[in-house]
Amino acid sequence: MTPNQPRRRFLRRSLITASVGLSGSLAGCSSFRGCSSAEIFLQGELVGHVPENATVVDISDPRVEESPWVKKVVEASSGGHPREMTISDCLSDYDDLREDLNALPAVHRAEDRLYYVRAEGQIVRVRAVFFTDDETGRPGRKAF
């Protein structure tokens, strides 16, 4: 055995370990985090009417301003372009988005939550639907 063999073995093992970690992160899921297949579906669209029980917040409100996913949906929708996004539990932003949505005033319905945001003189309704990890085809939506 040459002196370089232990070093090569160490480098080979390190490369294998790094490859496994990289492929896990590229898949968007870390077994250390315990991710699931839960999703949050966001849809934004302009509306002309706001229900009486709804609170409208401005896009400059820190709860919207500091939430990149909500802000992105609102900005695109305020320009008249309906916007839809799905955020998976395997993404690091999933938990942050759940917290951001919990901080905003919502109209709670059985199947979803509605948020109203004012942007550029327009009112955007953001609809959030929460899918749990046992729903494969999304037939039964469950709000958290």
The identity of residue 60, as a single letter, is S
Nearest CA to 125 out of 143, 112, 138 is that of 112
Length of the chain: 144
- Residue 119: which residues within 8 A CB-CB, separation 6 or more? 58, 59, 74, 75, 77, 78
pLDDT, tens digit, for every residue of 78-132? 888 777 878 777 777 888 888 999 999 999 988 899 999 999 889 999 999 888 7
Q: What are phi and psi of 10, to 5 degrees?
A: -60, -45
The more confident residue out of 90 and 4 is: 90
pLDDT, residue 37, reads 74
Domain definitions of the chain by residue range:
1-33, 39-131
- What does the longest C-alpha to C-alpha distance in the chain come to? 80
Separation between Cα atoms, residue 89 and residue 144, nearest integer Å:
13
pTM for the model stands at: 0.67
